């Protein structure tokens, strides 16, 4: 769609100018995006987010075979945790609440992770945390820009303290990424 950085910048500047000239005073991000680019920014499926974020045909998924287990044998009054995981796997076609991989953005290789709120509210269990951590470590080792699309309902209570540890693990990996990035002047990571 935009073959050069110049054409992308030109498009964005044109959209922004059109918005400013309209005299609108509604500064909601989703409204601005919808107005200036003529596209709605409503709830998006994870596949669309991947397709919209990177160049077509460049998606290479990572760690697709990782699946959640029931590490603490959690059972609520409704149903066992494992049955709940199986339900969401069938419903979404995903193994867990995040897809990670690599692709290209305007021809530049990037590492990208996209969470899906449709899978248990995008909650973070040990598989989600591990996949995101592996993605960050891969981006660090390969010196790639990192994009994370987050839509999470928080830690997954069915995994107890194991899910709570994931944010610390991710933060540690991001710290290492930031240290290397700063030293080598790699583009900053994006989380939206």
Beta strands in 39-173 (DSSP E): 60-62, 98-105, 108-115, 146-149
Mean pLDDT, residues 15-37: 48
Residue closest to 50 by CA, chosen among 128, 143, 144, 148: 148
pLDDT digits (tens, 9 = 90+) for 56-103: 999 999 999 888 777 767 777 777 888 888 898 899 888 888 999 999
Given a cut of 50, whether residue 43 has pLDDT beyond it is no
CA–chain centroid gap for 140, Å, is 17
Higher-pLDDT residue of 157 and 1 is: 157
- Whole-number mean pLDDT of the chain? 75
Q: Which pLDDT does position 7 carry in this prediction?
A: 53
Give the dihedral sign, CA 161/175/97/70: negative
pLDDT digits (tens, 9 = 90+) for 117-130: 888 888 888 899 99
Give the dihedral sign, CA 141/142/145/147: negative
pLDDT digits (tens, 9 = 90+) for 104-113: 988 999 999 9
Distance, CA of 182 to CA of 192 (rounded, Å)? 21
Band (27; pLDDT cuts 50, 70, 90) = very low
Q: In terms of C-beta distances under 8 Å and separation of at least 24 residues, what long-range contacts does 186-190 make, across chains too?
A: 186/143, 186/144, 186/145, 187/145, 188/145, 189/139, 189/145, 189/146, 189/147, 189/148, 190/145, 190/146, 190/147, 190/148
| CA end-to-end span of the chain | 22
- Cβ atoms within 10 Å of 66's Cβ, excluding its own: 16
């Amino acid at each position: 769609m935009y073959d050069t950085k110049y054409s992308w910048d030109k498009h964005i500047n044109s959209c922004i100018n059109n918005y400013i000239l309209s005299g609108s005073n509604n500064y909601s991000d989703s409204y601005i995006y919808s107005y200036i680019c003529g596209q709605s920014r409503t709830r998006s499926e994870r596949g669309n987010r991947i397709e919209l974020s990177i160049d077509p045909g460049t998606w290479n998924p990572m760690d697709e075979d990782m699946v959640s287990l029931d590490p603490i044998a959690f059972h609520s009054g409704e149903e066992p945790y494992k049955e709940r995981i199986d339900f969401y796997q069938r419903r979404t076609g995903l193994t867990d609440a995040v897809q990670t991989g690599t692709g290209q953005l305007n021809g530049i290789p990037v590492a990208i992770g996209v969470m899906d709120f449709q899978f248990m509210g995008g909650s973070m269990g040990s598989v989600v945390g591990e996949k995101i951590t592996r993605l960050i470590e891969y981006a660090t080792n390969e010196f790639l820009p990192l994009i994370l699309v987050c839509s999470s309902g928080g830690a997954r209570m069915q995994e107890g303290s194991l899910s709570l540890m994931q944010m610390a693990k991710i933060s540690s990996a991001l710290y290492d990424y930031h240290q290397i990035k700063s030293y080598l002047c790699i583009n900053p990571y994006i989380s939206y």
